[in-house]
Amino acid sequence: MGKRRQQSGMDFGIRVGAVVERAGTLLLVRHQKPDRAPYWVLPGGRLEPGETIPGCAEREVMEEAGLPAAFAEVLYVSEFLREGRHTVDVTARVRPTSNVEARLGEDPEVEPGSEPTLRELRWVGFGELEEIELLPAWTKDRLVRDAREGWPAGDVYLKGEDA
């Protein structure tokens, strides 16, 4: 039985999100895209062909937050299956490698002259997460619990949305 990836019409990709923690806060970025309500995510983006998961996590934190960071570990793997889209989400933990202050960066996938999608960068306390629409939806509770417990090893594959 052959695989028909090109013919499926489904958008498939791997997204790597990076957990950057500092003094009881997490680094989040707010996106605003046309015809969509604003939302918050961990810094991250699509894995590029030939790129490793650690390399992607480090690159995305640098692009979106101007923060040099080193990969520490994979925390979770989940999936998103809906509306012609299949995304594998890898959540990795990174550690800043300098005392540089994070600053709002750019999304290189946005065409020059277009409205930027990255609108805000913020260190958010775990108590504040309840008030923020963080995507994917399962992320909030899991991040708060695991940060409180010192990032314990455990279940890495989390079913995710509609998977």
Residue 123 near residue 103 (C-beta atoms within 8 A): no
Residue located via tokens 């918050």: 40
Q: Please name the amino acid found at residue 98.
A: S
pLDDT of 159 above 70: no
pLDDT one-digit tens code per residue, 30-43? 988 888 888 899 99
pLDDT of 85 above 60: yes
Residue 78 near residue 163 (C-beta atoms within 8 A): yes
Which structure tokens are listed for 36?
A: 């969509």
Residue 121 near residue 26 (C-beta atoms within 8 A): no
pLDDT of 150 above 80: yes
- At residue 25, φ and ψ (nearest 5 deg) are -125, 160
- In the chain the domains, ranked by start, together with CATH numbers, are 11-100+115-151 (3.90.79.10)
CB hemisphere CA count around 126 (13 angstroms): 16
Mean pLDDT of 8-28: 92
The pTM of the full predicted model, rounded to 2 decimals, is: 0.85
Q: What is d(CA 12, CA 117) in angstroms, rounded to the nearest whole number? A: 21
Q: What is d(CA 99, CA 122) in angstroms, rounded to the nearest whole number? A: 16
